[in-house]
């Protein structure tokens, strides 16, 4: 099938941003193929959430298993609760920073998009209410555009939530009918969200700003 069939690859993490992006892409009329990653994240509850969200959407999905044996992030360490503090790799970043994560995710998405003839890769990156990860910033997505262009491919990376607040994302998602009750944000992989990690705090802020109750709380 060619590019005219309006196919898209959607990176789906199980968090609320990417769930919103999936609904957004479907609303735009894209036939979506979701791409999920088992990268050894301590919060594997997140991956379970991604499977549920993909299944509920009815879109095909693929789970890539790609352990990062060199570590470099507290998110890859299922030992002690170390999702606070600074990164061992980059001291100006939080401990949860995973070196190369979005670059790896986007490179697989690019391979899939080219193979199935998709014209867009959707990613839920956000540079407003975020942890400061460099692979969530606008300049990085501009560089991806150039990289794909250098390969002669007509595929674009779209990050429609890049400039929205968490409240704005949730307001958009509520309109689109996103099943937020299925999403998981907490960096700690317990049965209940910890409520104190960056991701829990941004989530609470978002629902508060949007003036709605968190169905997963």
Chain residues that interact with a copy of itself, rule: CB under 8 A: 62, 64, 66, 68-72, 89-90, 98-101, 103-104, 106-108, 110-112, 114-116, 134-135, 137, 139-140, 142-144, 146-147, 149-153
| Cβ pair 214, 206 in contact under 8 A | no
Q: Which is nearer to a copy of itself, 71 or 168 (CB)?
A: 71
Structure tokens, 98? 């995973």
Token reading at 89: 């790799």
**194 burial class (0-12, 13-18, 19+ CB within 10 angstroms)?**
middle
CA dihedral of 28, 139, 187, 14, whole degrees rounded to 10? 20
Closest CA to 25 of 14, 12, 15: 12
CB of 91: closest distance to a copy of itself in angstroms? 11
Residue with smaller CB distance to a copy of itself, 153 or 194:
153
Least distance CB 217 / a copy of itself (angstroms): 33
Q: Between 142 and 213, whose beta carbon lies closer to a copy of itself?
A: 142
**Closer to a copy of itself at the Cβ: 111 or 213?**
111
Smallest distance, a copy of itself to C-beta of residue 133, A: 9
């Amino acid at each position: 099938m060619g590019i005219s069939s309006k196919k898209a690859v959607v990176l789906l993490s199980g968090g609320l941003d990417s769930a919103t992006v999936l609904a957004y892409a479907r609303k735009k009329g894209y036939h979506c193929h979701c791409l999920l990653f088992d990268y050894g994240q301590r919060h594997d509850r997140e991956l379970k959430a991604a499977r549920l969200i993909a299944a509920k959407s009815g879109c095909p999905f693929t789970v890539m298993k790609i352990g990062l044996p060199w570590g470099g992030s507290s998110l890859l360490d299922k030992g002690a609760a170390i999702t606070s503090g600074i990164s061992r790799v980059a001291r100006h970043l939080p401990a949860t920073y995973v070196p190369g994560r979005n670059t790896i995710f986007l490179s697989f998405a690019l391979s899939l998009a080219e193979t199935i003839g998709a014209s867009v890769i959707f990613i839920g990156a956000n540079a407003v209410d975020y942890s400061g990860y460099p692979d969530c910033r606008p300049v990085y997505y501009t560089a991806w555009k150039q990289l794909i262009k250098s390969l002669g491919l007509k595929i674009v990376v779209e990050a429609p939530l890049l400039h929205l607040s968490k409240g704005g994302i949730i307001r958009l998602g509520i309109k689109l009918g996103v099943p937020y009750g299925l999403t998981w944000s907490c960096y700690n992989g317990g049965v209940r969200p910890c409520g104190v990690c960056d991701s829990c705090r941004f989530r609470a802020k978002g629902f508060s700003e949007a003036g709605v109750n968190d169905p997963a709380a």
